[in-house]
Structure 1
Amino acid sequence: MRAFVPLECNPEVFTSLLTSMGVSKSLAFHDVFTIDDASLLEFIPGPCYALLLVFPTSDNYETYRKESDANIYPYCASGAQEPLEGGVTWYRQTIKNACGTYALLHAIANAVPRDLIKPNSLAEKLLSDTKPLDPVARATYLECSKELESAHAAVASRGETGAPAAEDGIDFHYVCLAKTQTNPPHLFELDGRRAGPIDLGELSQIGDKDDALGPLSLARVREFLTREGDSGMFSIIALSPSLD
């Protein structure tokens, strides 16, 4: 199995990777320091397109994942095409320690408006090339993408802490909660280690916060926190308009 150096959950790291792949600088990642204090959440510019959550992969989580996956249509086994995915694009993770980049790809593919992706950029190429493929072929495509590997490697050492080796065992994992660009928009949980994309429900679009920082998304984050006993070993970054 191929392996990447894990990415630190750092807004600057992910924003750098986002823009290097060709997404407009009008978008950026921001730290989410709390999900319970509405006044602090208001400091994050809206709309929020996606949340990237990194959490500990404990025994509790692994048991939950395996049991829950039994209820998810097995896309990667079936060779299911795009219509069966509810209008979203899902990437099966087959590169070790690359979960941060897969989470970012899920955000770009499903939450970022297309007019904010530069023509002929890496992001545009990846999306256009992989959209017509089934999940197995998509996974192979990403494994073989030297451009994606180079983009990841360019930011992997930019965190505030020393980066582990690509082959090291890491007990943390990223998941993306994305507000889709479908009509009507839905909130999807997108995780390459699951059996497929998870539709968390339609967003009602009532009020400014019916987005990836809205009640539906925050409720899902609380499920992760509760399952792990509020360990505190969580980080969240939000993809939304840049402050620059």
Structure 2
Amino acid sequence: MAEANTGAGSMEEPESSWCLIESDPGVFTELIRGFGCTGAQVEEIWTLEVDAFRHLEPIHGLIFLFKWVQDDKPAGRVVHDRSDIFFARQMIQNACATQALLSLLLNIRHPDIDLGHTLNSFKHFCQELDPVSRGICLSNEEKIRTVHNSFARPELFELDTPDAPSEDDDDDVYHFVSYMPIKGRLFELDGMHEGPIELADIGQDQNWLQVVRPFIEARMQRYSVGEIHFNLMALVSDRQRYYERQIQLLVHQPSPLSHTERQAEIAKLRTFVTLEQEKKRRYRQENQRRRHNYLPFIVEVLKQLGETGQLMPIYEKAKKQAKEQANQEQACNSPKNEANQEP
């Protein structure tokens, strides 16, 4: 699923524009790596039940994709007096995926995560700027934009009109926002607003995921029944590193577990490490496929089929099969003939 085409301000020139980004944990995890940040990854969340998150802790923030509507009212108070929160306005179309991710990364203070040179330098440069100026700097940050645009979908044809769809178009548009706890309070970070949105206090004994749940559910309920175009992802510490650290602790430090129990736990953790390695391999493979331009190959195949007279027979066969399938579905969905009904 792609992000919203909802940037503020005018569209940049084509060479400096930002592409749409798919809402996928593999894509966001590679964005993190591309920015030079280590120790973090993104996982998809399928439920808002807090117990379902236990295996991913620590969870540093959530990224939520939803259908964007104009004049979306904030669910809490927009704050302007929090200099300790890094917040940037969205000043360019299609940038909300990267902005949602950076809103989390640039506000995290955790030993697991190293921002790296690019993000540390950007944060330091923009630290004293206002949100609009930060947004302008982000729009023109070449390294970040290049990583973002590495997921641009290949285009077969160049259009004469570079204007992006607006909110007046019939197509649905989607938007990414972030949620995270900062110093005992829950914030929504959305570049379409003027500042961070303070949603609630987080009690000492509360899991912040319990606090954020009703806000996400409330946003979902604003839409019509049957609307399922939502996606929720969590920014977490690198799971492979986490499991490897747990193994090292069991190997080198005293443990209340017996030798047999300890070996069983180590074996389980090594299985988790292998699964994480396989996941990273799969992400790399999927992202390579996303970047590969298959269009010239498809065009050439269609051209060769046309020249050898095979294209139209394939088309007619497919057309016939589609019609038969439609007739079968119609027959299955229509009421039974009264004469065939049981008394």
Q: Do they fold alike, i.e. is TM over 0.5?
A: yes
The aligned counterpart of 2:219 is 224
Cα deviation for residue 117 of structure 1 reads: 2.1
Greater CA drift, 127-136 or 109-118? 109-118
Pairing 1:40–2:43 present: no
Q: Which protein has the larger Cα radius of gyration, Structure 1 or Structure 2?
A: 2
Tell me the distance in 1 between the aligned counterparts of 2:75 and 2:48: 26
Identity of aligned residues (%): 23
The aligned counterpart of 1:233 is 229
Q: For the Cα contact (< 8 Å) 2:75–2:199, is it kept in 1?
A: no
- CA distance 1:30–1:116, shift in 2 (3 Å): same
Equivalent of residue 27 in structure 1, options 20, 36, 40: 40
Could you state the TM-score of these two structures normalised by the residue count of structure 1? 0.77
Equivalent of residue 105 in structure 1, options 99, 102, 105: 102
Q: Which runs of 5+ in 1 are unaligned?
A: 76-83, 159-164
The aligned counterpart of 2:280 is none
1:65-214 alignment runs, 5 A limit: 65=73, 68=74, 72=78, 84-85=81-82, 87-113=84-110, 116-119=113-116, 121-157=117-153, 168-169=164-165, 171-180=173-182, 184-206=183-205, 210-211=207-208, 214=209
Could you state the TM-score of these two structures normalised by the residue count of structure 2? 0.56
Equivalent of residue 56 in structure 1, options 67, 78, 81: 67
Tell me the distance in 2 between the aligned counterparts of 1:237 and 1:56: 16
Q: Which runs of 5+ in 2 are unaligned?
A: 1-10, 166-171, 241-343
Length, aligned pairs only: 213
- CA distance 1:100–1:112, shift in 2 (3 Å): farther
Tell me the distance in 1 between the aligned counterparts of 2:115 and 2:75: 35
Cα displacement string for residues 33-81 of structure 1 (whole angstroms, at most 9, x for unaligned residues): 1114x453334x10111100000013xxx2443xx499635x5xxxxxx
Cα deviation for residue 192 of structure 1 reads: 0.5
Cα deviation for residue 155 of structure 1 reads: 3.6
Amino acid of the structure 2 residue aligned with 1:40: A
- Give the SS at the match of 1:85: coil
Q: For the Cα contact (< 8 Å) 1:88–1:110, is it kept in 2?
A: yes
Q: For the Cα contact (< 8 Å) 2:68–2:175, is it kept in 1?
A: yes
Q: For the Cα contact (< 8 Å) 1:50–1:179, is it kept in 2?
A: yes
Greater relative contact order (Cα < 8 A, sep 6+): 1
- CA distance 1:92–1:146, shift in 2 (3 Å): same
Tell me the distance in 1 between the aligned counterparts of 2:142 and 2:238: 29
Tell me the distance in 2 between the aligned counterparts of 1:96 and 1:147: 17
CA RMSD of aligned residues (A): 2.6
